[in-house]
Amino acid sequence: MEHKAIMITGGAGFIGSHVVRLFTGKYPDCRILNVDKLTYAGNPANLKDVEDSPNYRFVRADICDFDTMLGLMESEHVDGIIHLAAESHVDRSIKDPFTFAKTNVMGTLSLLQAARQYWESLPERYDGKLFYHISTDEVYGALTLSHPEGTEPPFSTKASSGHHLAYGDTFFKETDKYSPHSPYSASKAAGDHFVRAFHDTYGLPSIVTNCSNNYGPYQFPEKLIPLFVNNILHRRPLPVYGRGENVRDWLYVEDHARAIDLIFHQGKIAETYNIGGFNEWKNIDIVRLLVKTTDRLLGRGDGEDMDLITFVKDRAGHDLRYAIDSTKLRDELGWEPSLQFEEGIEKTVKWYLDNQDWLADVTSGNYLRYYDEMYNRR
Ligand code: NAD
Ligand code: TYD
């Protein structure tokens, strides 16, 4: 399915910026409209290198603003939407659930309703149109830690391709029931339900994907990996929640962007695809790997900063284990993660150390000046 104009929401955030970069470069004949409110998590500097591409346009707007969304879809003749805009940090959702419900539920509904109204007004209606909603594995709830008799975790599992090490013998599948625990995952789950309801009720062509934890360049340093690299750099404590026993399944962000491209162009309408790294790690092991890698790249002694690790009060309702089974995506569309975790972590730590100005601007709140530099000069 060839598209002429794709609206990407949340394109100034972490994953969105990688998706915008990929699509703008790969599809020069398609107009890419990045719609982002620029909350604390949105940083136009993430897209400095695509700013001047002729097929790219940035609009600062709130997805909750229905009239603006409809107006943009009409004036830009949008025929595809990739919806990433969201409040995305679990700890913030615990402090401020209202903002999460507003953006992740009402914002998604506002986009769905605008897409429906615009596309239904066209002679061809829904032909050649797609609303692609990006969601998270966290909607499925939490898995347990377990291991088959005679093995020690992490053990090798056949639930996936390659050498997949797992901390449990169950995995999230597309057919699993939703069971969100945090206000973040509850708000994402509600958004997902609305997308499916719009397909079933109005015939709006949609796809939902649920992805595991992403890591890589341009992630806001409130999330585990960039936060800890920044703290190691400045020799600040590394606050590990609980005992660091929680397990997450990590995927390099460019592999996620590649999956989004594939699914957007070849995925089946009304389907759900799980996207994961087949790559489970305990938090404490990641933290140790981060200390070793960062110290080495900074020319410090091997593991010199291990004593920065500080065990702190656990996150409320902290999900124990997430693990995705993305066999469906592999079997139906041929997608697989391209990077081993150690290789991805090396690239990622190196990127943050090479881009300390970006880190400093983001942590000081100075980054919105890029917005003024880029847009107010025009
Ligand atoms: P992020 O927090 O880095 O970026 C979110 C972007 O959305 C920001 O640019 C922000 O300005 C924008 N935004 C927020 N509220 C908005 C609103 N009301 N209107 C317009 N723009 C708004 O998030 P991320 O980590 O890049 O995640 C992107 C999407 O992927 C989210 O939907 C998230 O739920 C999902 N996801 C993330 C991960 C992960 O590990 N980061 C994993 C799976 C799924
Ligand atoms: P995070 O990056 O917030 O992603 P998510 O909560 O969406 O999985 O956290 C990843 C894991 O790291 C999670 O188990 C919580 C833990 N964590 C810490 O132990 N300390 C921290 O300071 C942060 C931000 C996260």
Q: How many distinct helices (H) and strands (E) make up the chain? A: 13, 14
Counting ligands in written order, which one lies closest to the CA of residue 215? 1
For ligand 1, the distance from its centroid to the CA atom of residue 89, given in whole angstroms, is 9
Q: What was the pLDDT predicted at 367?
A: 74
**Any atom of ligand 1 within 6 Å of the Cβ of 36:** yes
Euclidean distance between CA atoms 267 and 277, whole angstroms: 19
Task: Tell which atom from ligand 2 comes closest to the C-alpha of 136.
Answer: 7
249 contacts 333 by C-beta, under 8 angstroms: no
Question: Best of 19, 81, 84, 99 to mutate for ligand 1, by most ligand atoms within 8 A of CB?
Answer: 84
Residue 6 C-alpha from the chain's centroid: 18
In the residue annotation, 138 being an active-site residue is answered as yes
5-376 CATH: 3.40.50.720
Euclidean distance between CA atoms 93 and 326, whole angstroms: 27
Q: Which residues of the chain have pLDDT under 70?
A: 1, 158-163, 368-378
**Where do the structural domains in the chain lie, given as residue ranges?**
5-376
- Which residue CA neighbors atom 36 of ligand 1 most closely? 136
Nearest alpha-carbon partner for 286 in 213, 359, 351: 213
For ligand 2, the distance from its centroid to the CA atom of residue 58, given in whole angstroms, is 30
Question: Best of 14, 35, 67 to mutate for ligand 1, by most ligand atoms within 8 A of CB?
Answer: 14
- Which residue CA neighbors atom 25 of ligand 2 most closely? 224
Q: What was the pLDDT predicted at 281?
A: 94
pLDDT digits (tens, 9 = 90+) for 97-155: 999 999 999 999 999 999 999 999 999 999 999 999 999 999 999 999 988 778 877 88
Catalytic residue (one of 137, 174, 254, 325): 137
Question: Best of 212, 223, 289 to mutate for ligand 2, by most ligand atoms within 8 A of CB?
Answer: 223
276 contacts 237 by C-beta, under 8 angstroms: no
46 contacts 368 by C-beta, under 8 angstroms: no
Ligand 2 cavity residues, CB under 6 Å? 90, 213, 223-224, 227, 239-241, 246, 248, 283, 315
- Assign residue 11 a region (left: φ > 0; alpha: ψ between -120 and 50; beta: otherwise): alpha
**Any atom of ligand 1 within 6 Å of the Cβ of 180:** no
Catalytic residue (one of 87, 138, 255, 319): 138
Q: What is the dihedral of CA 51, 56, 60, 61, to 10 degrees?
A: -160
For ligand 1, the distance from its centroid to the CA atom of residue 41, given in whole angstroms, is 8
In the residue annotation, 184 being an active-site residue is answered as yes
Euclidean distance between CA atoms 117 and 87, whole angstroms: 25
Q: What was the pLDDT predicted at 169?
A: 87
Q: What was the pLDDT predicted at 377?
A: 47
Counting ligands in written order, which one lies closest to the CA of residue 10? 1
Structure tokens that stand for 61 in this block = 């707007």
For ligand 2, the distance from its centroid to the CA atom of residue 231, given in whole angstroms, is 14
For ligand 2, the distance from its centroid to the CA atom of residue 22, given in whole angstroms, is 27
pTM over 0.95: yes
Catalytic residue (one of 167, 184, 215, 367): 184
Q: What is the largest CA-CA distance in the chain?
A: 67
In the residue annotation, 302 being an active-site residue is answered as no
Task: Tell which atom from ligand 1 comes closest to the C-alpha of 219.
Answer: 3
Q: For the purposes of burial, counting CB atoms within 10 Å of the CB of 342, is it exposed (0-12), middle (13-18) or buried (19 or more)?
A: exposed
